[in-house]
A and B are shown apart, each in its own frame.
Chain A
């Protein structure tokens, strides 16, 4: 029973273009949503979060959009850079930083 779904296992984007990573969730109790980035042999690194009272949060090149009615969120990276090549995990929780539920991840390849 996957409560957080990332349906694209991988995504390839040209350097300089926009990368859009998508995530769907099923549990309507989730109020906090996060994106983590993971390089091989390292732990996940927190990127950006959004609470359910907002529909957009921006931090530099990273923007997260939340559509509560559709139970969908997306991460936009613009412009995409070579160092953005990594696995991106979408995650959610009902309470901030409690029992965080992760998706399976999307591997992003930035092409030169």
Chain B
């Protein structure tokens, strides 16, 4: 079975640009979460979606947005990129609801802002 897949794996952008990151969850998983991991820190929660609805949002500015599609894949959008947005962006999927099954992470998208 395929795990969580994220695209692209690497991306270079300049300040002020916009970026879209994509995530395909494990088959059967209905919940997708996004995390930002900067160097030397742990993953920081950005968003969680379940059944196409936002279930949680971390402490990130409105430049960050996301959505989940009917096939449960998800996109993370970041507008007006800043140097500080350079990070590894991780997507995790889980069955969702009140399931006790764990979240599984993809390998991430490495975003570099010049």
Contacts and interface: CB of A to CB of B under 8 A. Distances in A.
B55 interface: yes
A104 interface: yes
Contacts of B43: 44, 89, 102
Contact of B90 (A43, A97, A103, A105): A43
Contacts of B33: 100
Contacts, number: 57
A4 B106 CA distance: 22
Given A34-B102, A44-B90, A105-B42, A99 B107 contact: no
B73 interface: no
B108 A43 contact: yes
Given A43-B108, A44-B90, A97-B94, A102 B103 contact: no
B80 to A, nearest CB: 25
How many A residues touch the partner, as a band?
A: 20 to 34
Nearest to B96: A97
Provide the main secondary structure of the chain A interface.
loop
A4 B104 CA distance: 20
A46 B107 CA distance: 13
Interface of B: 4, 31, 33, 35, 40-45, 48, 55-56, 58, 90, 92, 94, 96, 98-108
Given A98-B56, A99-B48, 7 more contacts: A4-B42, A43-B105, A89-B42, A99-B45, A100-B33, A102-B35, A105-B42
